[in-house]
Structure 1
Amino acid sequence: MRINRKFNYIIAMSIAVTGCAQQKEHSPVKWPEADAPIATVKPYQRIIHGDTVVDNYYWLNDYFKQGPDSGEVVKYLEAENAYTNAMMKGTEALQEKLFNEMKSRIKEKDESVPYLKNGYYYYSRTEEGEQYYKFCRKKGSLDAPEEVLLDVDAMAKGKPYFAANGFSVSPDNKLLAFGVDEVSRREYIIHIKNLETGEILPDRIMRTSGSATWAADNRTIFYTSKNPITLLSEKIKRHTLGTAEGQDVVVYDEKDNTNYIGVGKSKNGKYIFIQSQSTMSAEVRYLKADDPNGEFQVFQPRMKDVLYSVVPLEDRFLIVTNADNAQNFKVVETPLDKTGKENWKNFIPHRQDVLVQDIDEFKDFLVVSERKNGLTNLSIRQLKDNVVHDLDFGEAAYTVYPSINAEYDTDVVRYGYTSMVTPSSTFDYNMHSREKTLLKQQEVLGGYDAEKYVTERAFATATDGTKVPISLVYKKGTKKDGSAPLYLYAYGSYGSSMEPTFSSSRLSLLDRGFIYAIAHIRGGEEMGRQWYEDGKLMKKKNTFTDFIDCGQYLIDQKYTSKGHLYAEGGSAGGLLMGAVINMAPDMWNGVIAAVPFVDVVNTMLDETIPLTTNEYDEWGNPNNKDAYDYMKSYSPYENIEAKEYPNLLVTTGLHDSQVQYFEPAKWVAKLRATKKGNNVVLLKTDMDFGHGGASGRFDYLKDQALEWAFILKLEGITQ
């Protein structure tokens, strides 16, 4: 619900200051004269566990609930947008400049690295001036004629939002299944295209996750069906080409509304898997791909507090699992005909200092994605003799990950590499010869020179003594005397690790004297599974205190000072922002909360809100008093007080399915009515989009330009 991985709200920024040796002071910020909207007060009582809470802005959910005040909600959001525009009017030229310079670094006419699958090389390419892309292939050789499978630029013409995903080509290479979302609620219609004739078949599969999995017969697909109200992924269905709408067969119906489900095919093409998983347990079903009308078999019935996932090899299954108290996960093996846990045997034992994140199978090799001491790693294992070697990288903070590896019978693994100063790079690595080949590095137009920037890794000491990693990047010559403005980002939920990656857009802040830092706080999984366990449920406050302690460390070490410290988080990271400004409001000069999950108690009490029940294992179920009391003690909306808050820019989307628009709207209304002082609170609602923002490859830069202009204005930077 609150996670958005596109949301590489790793909009990283950096340390760069050319200032004097003394800490500079801000001139008072001059804001235009404009009257902030005042939301109507309509008291609503919430009574649970003997606790009565009056919510004056509960009515703002009426657009979502289709209630009587729906029209008034839209008027209020439009008034907030008008106010934000008025307050930011003096930055319009700066926003335009920021947009243009960020856009100018992007190579408009570009092409992804082609990958081979089933005899064809697949790639996407972009053209100058176009917002989207074309999905293409060539048969057998990169010198072969190009086939444009989908012209997404043409498909998106005239649409405020357009997303196409889940591209899946049939085993005979003749049909393409793909999903389309034109509303930005992650509810896709699956279409089928005949690649020989160019015809879009009459088959239209509604309310799906967007992806389809082909059986071996080239006429059957399996897909995930969503509940139209909660958007929960609750059924796996089978569709045979030509079947009328609504007549598809349910092959799996998930009865536990705390689980997410999905369907996919093994790399070797032999099996179709259904994965059902909550935060704390999992269950897999499998079927031979050449028996699409058969019954899915349970691999191992779900077990309390046991997660597992499965990949098949030629002679056995491998399972990544935390069974038997393997907190950082291990890899076990079992025969193809004996899949129950009683047959599982250790293949890669559990290690206290290494988190096993995933495995990528090949005919003769296994590539294990691991994490140690907060850094990612790829470990190569030869299956025949179990010889293991690791790839070596050489930077203080970096990210490495398997790229698209669609072929099973190959000795080459493709991986991606990036750091806060190294643009995204794609390599092929021969697992036999141990030679690596750079295929492509993201081209940054305008003369980017990595030697002009420095990346560091530091450790802050948290309140309880825990060492929390921080990744930093800044321009050479920056003085650590407290004068540099610093932009601190974090997420801290769902075990989602915020990686130190490159961003060409970030250069617009680095070159204006900013340090950019990522706080790898608990709630993520940077330091292993325990890092996640210590930042969820009844330990959630560790996430917030870690972030505050990271901010204090950066001040103490003179990377910055209180008057120059800024923070951003999005989605569940927006909850982090709401919590830390309640707990330490005077630490931050400005804060950006993007699509923030800030009304925790009310949302987790409402099972009609998309994905709420999936997340009881993350936040707790407030129908239980202990969880309610703890959640209420940190929920940003519940803990607003009459005190001075930092300057705040809040963004949301009217069609957001992950964090509904009314959470930030209510939060802003209550903050403005309660807070003291003259610091501004701005709310920007995108009336066309949802959780991930604009869909075009340049439109999102306008949102970034607004956010950064807000921070630059606070810092007194006008150019």
Structure 2
Amino acid sequence: MDIFERHLVLFERKDGLPQIRVLKLPISVDMMQRVCSDVLPLPKGVCSITPGLNQDYSSSVLRLSISSPIMPEALLDCDLSSKEFAVLQQNEVVCSLIHKAKEKRLKTEISSEQDHDAPNVCRSQACDSTENEVLDLSEMYALEHVKVASHDMVEVPLTIVYSRDLKMEGKSPALLTGYGAYGESLDMKWCADSLSLLDRGWVLAFAHVRGGGELGKAWHDSGRLLKKLNSMHDFLACGEFLVKRGFCHRDFLTARGVSAGGLLVAASIHMQAALFLAVILKVPFLDIGNTMLDENLSLTVSEYEEWGNPENKETFNYIRSYTPYDNLKKAVQYPHMLTLSSFQDTRVGYWEAAKWTARIREYTSVNTNKLTLLKTDMNSGHFTESGRYLHIEDTAFEYAFLLKMVENSTHKIAD
């Protein structure tokens, strides 16, 4: 929420997607009756909204940034009175993609009417254009929002991104990402790194499972404490949907989870290990059973609200039913696994990833061709190093792992 002298700005979510509502101050009874119609007309396809500082109380201009998996982040000023936007800046890195998208549009359009009605490839000042538009790469990449029925028939939002050159014949690899904790919504901002996979024919999917904040507090409450298993069921339902609907090959589904998202992915593979070819667990919360019993750790007591206090017998037994480390079993073919930890991590101990990897190797050392890797960064913390090139190196390492696992699996299928 942002408060100005003459306007109240509310940042909301509807069906899991962000929106902005503006109310004139002071608020009258008539104004409250019209409140539902006061939503700002944002550019189509926005998945992430970040408010600016907006420190000038007397101003009538709201500064914010918007983006999506196919919309590079744009900095906007919005006139709260007229509800008109002005594009101040947009990511310059992808300017070459604009020209590529425009060329593709010109080649595929066969009439001026089609040209008028075609999806927008918008421009911004950052790309040497005077037109006040926001760049949208929907000419090259598709963005879909669907609902997936979970085990209890609750509909779970799933966002799917893929190249428009891709033929949906059930032959593509896919990367499914999830988080589902603390009432936090899954990050749906623009990330240029993802183009590397999209242009290689990958499908990227984001599972907005229960425990997150996409659908409000009730959505969070239905995926925490004694309802945490709903998160895992939701994640698996999204994975199965991708396979059944032909978005990916049944042998090429991969998954990635960070921190509490690592717990989500790791617990999910216990329930259905054969669904995934490979998984990436980054600074993952894998030993929740033992961690929540140690009150000397920095975050244990404050985490009771999310996971519960295992001093309570019912809570203890419930946590034990899904904690990844304690549920590892012998003679199970787990997916290829890359576990990434940070030695200086004060939120999730590096030893959790080490214990996890050691036990998997012990339990699966015989009759397995699955790769189990552990990489520990000795210098970074929970949020890893922030340098530009270090981030690129980390992402390249993760993508190389995924690409290699799919390549090896492809050769086996061909043989």
TM-score, normalised to structure 1's length? 0.49
Q: Is residue 32 of structure 2 the alignment partner of residue 383 of structure 1?
A: no
Given that 2:178 and 2:265 are in contact with CA atoms closer than 8 Å, whether structure 1 keeps it comes out as no
Q: Is residue 345 of structure 2 the alignment partner of residue 652 of structure 1?
A: no
Given that 1:396 and 1:456 are in contact with CA atoms closer than 8 Å, whether structure 2 keeps it comes out as no
Q: Counterparts of 1:476 and 1:487 in 2: how far apart (Å)?
A: 17
Secondary structure in 2 matching 1:406: coil
Pick from 374, 397, 400 the counterpart of residue 683 of structure 1.
Answer: 374
Name 2:12's counterpart in structure 1. 370
Q: Counterparts of 1:541 and 1:596 in 2: how far apart (Å)?
A: 17
Secondary structure in 1 matching 2:358: helix
Pick from 486, 490, 494 the counterpart of residue 182 of structure 2.
Answer: 494
Secondary structure in 1 matching 2:48: strand
Name 2:405's counterpart in structure 1. 714
Higher relative contact order (CA 8 A, sep 6+): 1
Q: Is residue 192 of structure 2 the alignment partner of residue 504 of structure 1?
A: yes
Cα 1:397–1:465, aligned 2, differ >3 Å: closer, same or farther? farther
Name 2:391's counterpart in structure 1. 700
Question: 1:448, CA displacement in angstroms?
Answer: 1.9
Q: Is residue 326 of structure 2 the alignment partner of residue 638 of structure 1?
A: yes
Q: Residue by residue, what CA displacement relative to the aligned partner does 1:385-439 show, whole Å, maximum 9, x if unpaired?
A: 4445211235356222322212211111111111121100111011122221011
* 1:32-111 equivalences in 2 (<5 Å): none
Given that 1:372 and 1:528 are in contact with CA atoms closer than 8 Å, whether structure 2 keeps it comes out as no
Q: Counterparts of 1:581 and 1:411 in 2: how far apart (Å)?
A: 50
Q: Residue by residue, what CA displacement relative to the aligned partner does 1:353-404 show, whole Å, maximum 9, x if unpaired?
A: xxxxxx1111111101111111111101111244452112353562223222
- Whichever residue aligns with residue 515 of structure 1, its letter is V
Question: 1:477, CA displacement in angstroms?
Answer: 2.0
Name 1:157's counterpart in structure 2. none
Q: Residue by residue, what CA displacement relative to the aligned partner does 1:664-719 show, whole Å, maximum 9, x if unpaired?
A: 1111111111125220110000011111111212211111111100000011189x
Question: 1:512, CA displacement in angstroms?
Answer: 0.8
Name 1:403's counterpart in structure 2. 52
Cα 1:568–1:672, aligned 2, differ >3 Å: closer, same or farther? same
Question: 1:487, CA displacement in angstroms?
Answer: 0.6
Secondary structure in 2 matching 1:370: strand
* 1:259-298 equivalences in 2 (<5 Å): none
Structure with higher strand content: 1
> Number of matched residues?
360
Specify every segment of 5 or more residues in structure 2 that has no aligned partner in the other structure, as ranges. Answer: 99-136, 411-415
Q: Is residue 277 of structure 2 the alignment partner of residue 580 of structure 1?
A: no
- Whichever residue aligns with residue 683 of structure 1, its letter is L
Secondary structure in 1 matching 2:161: strand
Cα 1:385–1:572, aligned 2, differ >3 Å: closer, same or farther? closer
Secondary structure in 2 matching 1:517: strand
Q: Residue by residue, what CA displacement relative to the aligned partner does 1:172-230 show, whole Å, maximum 9, x if unpaired?
A: xxxxxxxxxxxxxxxxxxxxxxxxxxxxxxxxxxxxxxxxxxxxxxxxxxxxxxxxxxx
* 1:244-259 equivalences in 2 (<5 Å): none
Q: Counterparts of 2:27 and 2:348 in 1: how far apart (Å)?
A: 49
- Whichever residue aligns with residue 648 of structure 1, its letter is M
Q: Counterparts of 1:542 and 1:500 in 2: how far apart (Å)?
A: 22
Name 1:173's counterpart in structure 2. none
Question: 1:499, CA displacement in angstroms?
Answer: 3.8
Out of 413-422 and 383-392, give the one that drifted further: 383-392
Q: Counterparts of 1:446 and 1:419 in 2: how far apart (Å)?
A: 16
Given that 2:46 and 2:67 are in contact with CA atoms closer than 8 Å, whether structure 1 keeps it comes out as no
Q: Residue by residue, what CA displacement relative to the aligned partner does 1:584-637 show, whole Å, maximum 9, x if unpaired?
A: 100001100000000011000001112111010100111111110000010000
Q: Counterparts of 1:658 and 1:447 in 2: how far apart (Å)?
A: 40
Q: Is residue 199 of structure 2 the alignment partner of residue 534 of structure 1?
A: no
Q: Counterparts of 2:83 and 2:46 in 1: how far apart (Å)?
A: 23
Given that 2:10 and 2:21 are in contact with CA atoms closer than 8 Å, whether structure 1 keeps it comes out as yes
- Whichever residue aligns with residue 394 of structure 2, its letter is D
Name 2:357's counterpart in structure 1. 668
Name 1:520's counterpart in structure 2. 208
Pick from 141, 147, 159 the counterpart of residue 471 of structure 1.
Answer: 159
Given that 2:150 and 2:156 are in contact with CA atoms closer than 8 Å, whether structure 1 keeps it comes out as yes
Name 2:256's counterpart in structure 1. 568
* 1:90-489 equivalences in 2 (<5 Å): 359-386=1-28, 387=31, 388=35, 389-396=38-45, 398-445=47-94, 447-449=96-98, 450=137, 451-489=139-177
Given that 1:598 and 1:637 are in contact with CA atoms closer than 8 Å, whether structure 2 keeps it comes out as yes
Secondary structure in 2 matching 1:691: coil
Q: Residue by residue, what CA displacement relative to the aligned partner does 1:326-361 show, whole Å, maximum 9, x if unpaired?
A: xxxxxxxxxxxxxxxxxxxxxxxxxxxxxxxxx111
TM-score, normalised to structure 2's length? 0.84
Given that 2:46 and 2:71 are in contact with CA atoms closer than 8 Å, whether structure 1 keeps it comes out as no
Question: 1:527, CA displacement in angstroms?
Answer: 1.4
Q: Counterparts of 2:281 and 2:163 in 1: how far apart (Å)?
A: 26
Q: Residue by residue, what CA displacement relative to the aligned partner does 1:520-552 show, whole Å, maximum 9, x if unpaired?
A: 000001112111000000000000010000000
Identity of aligned residues (%): 39
Structure with higher helix content: 2
Q: Counterparts of 2:27 and 2:329 in 1: how far apart (Å)?
A: 63
Q: Counterparts of 1:557 and 1:617 in 2: how far apart (Å)?
A: 37
Given that 1:471 and 1:500 are in contact with CA atoms closer than 8 Å, whether structure 2 keeps it comes out as no
Given that 1:573 and 1:596 are in contact with CA atoms closer than 8 Å, whether structure 2 keeps it comes out as yes
Q: Counterparts of 1:426 and 1:396 in 2: how far apart (Å)?
A: 16
Q: Counterparts of 2:361 and 2:273 in 1: how far apart (Å)?
A: 15
Specify every segment of 5 or more residues in structure 1 that has no aligned partner in the other structure, as ranges. Answer: 1-358
Q: Counterparts of 1:668 and 1:636 in 2: how far apart (Å)?
A: 11
Q: Counterparts of 1:395 and 1:467 in 2: how far apart (Å)?
A: 23
Aligned-residue Cα RMSD (Å) equals 1.5
